[in-house]
Structure 1
């Protein structure tokens, strides 16, 4: 199945590209998610007009992403989770958790743009990359702390 991408899709292509994908991937993910449209003759004619506006839109998005990137580089998020032996967390910190806490601070960022290889499962300080635009990547400082109040009170005495 051939589709025309309406948005950038990781490991597939950029907005405006005509790509060949498996039927199920196109029907079940790309089309319902409004990430692509079916590549018919009429849509291919429309896409040529869309490419010109996409270039202008991409330039505008890049400048907005650069501004947002400078704001995000200064943000530090702190998560408290229950901790087991060897500072291993019972509940991990996922990209959804990071996106939720960013939204509480006033930044609307899709969790899919947060490039977390795997959920954070140990205590520590991490620098998590956020891909705001294909050419702009920001880094957020994420600190994961243990939730052990009795250990802290013993250490404080």
Structure 2
């Protein structure tokens, strides 16, 4: 199906480009999201009439996104999760969790703006790409830790903390031989 793009789509084209895409991609994503129009004579004429307005609106939105990107650049958010001794999470951190952490840090984003290739399943600091506008993206660091203390240590060292100090103390006590009250 041939469509005309109403905004820039990564790996597809710029605003105003007439491109050929698969029918399902156009019907199920681009057309309902109002990111494109079918490339008919009427729609091309309509697009040309509205082009100046669309470009002005796009420029305005891009400037706003760039201003937010400057504030967000280098942002470090903490996500506390339970994990095993090897640092493997008992679950995962997905784009919804990342979006919730960024919102808690004071920014307004949608979970669809968080670009995760796959869910994060290990402790540590992980860079995540957030798309604020089709032309503006920023990298945010997600610090996944077992506790706030572990998160502070991970942020300082840059390495994942697999065993917290509290657990180390408990484990040392477990290694001591059991002493009965009668033996004292």
C-alpha change, 1:110 and 1:22, in structure 2 (3 Å) is same
- Alignment RMSD: 2.6
Return the alpha-carbon distance in structure 2 between the equivalents of residues 151 and 74 of structure 1.
Answer: 26
**Structure 2, unaligned runs of 5 or more:** 148-162, 171-184
Maintained 8 Å contact 2:10/2:134: no
Q: Deviations over 1:40-95 (max 9, x none)?
A: 21110111123222332232222211210122125321111221242111211112
1:1-157 to 2 correspondences below 5 Å: 1-73=1-73, 75-146=75-146, 152-155=165-168
1:32 counterpart SS class? coil
For residues 23 and 141 of structure 1, the distance between their equivalents in structure 2, rounded to whole angstroms, comes to 37
- Of Structure 1 and Structure 2, the greater strand share is in 1
* Closer, same or farther: CA 109–15 of 1 in aligned 2, 3 Å: farther
Q: In the comparison of the two structures, how many residue pairs are matched?
A: 156
Query: TM-score of the superposition, structure 2-length normalised?
Result: 0.71
**Do the aligned partners of 1:2 and 1:38 also contact (CA within 8 Å) in 2?**
yes
| Larger displacement relative to structure 2 (96-105 or 118-127) | 96-105
Computing the radius of gyration over CA atoms, which structure comes out larger, 1 or 2? Answer: 2
- Give unmatched runs, 5+ long, in structure 1: none
TM-score (norm 1): 0.81
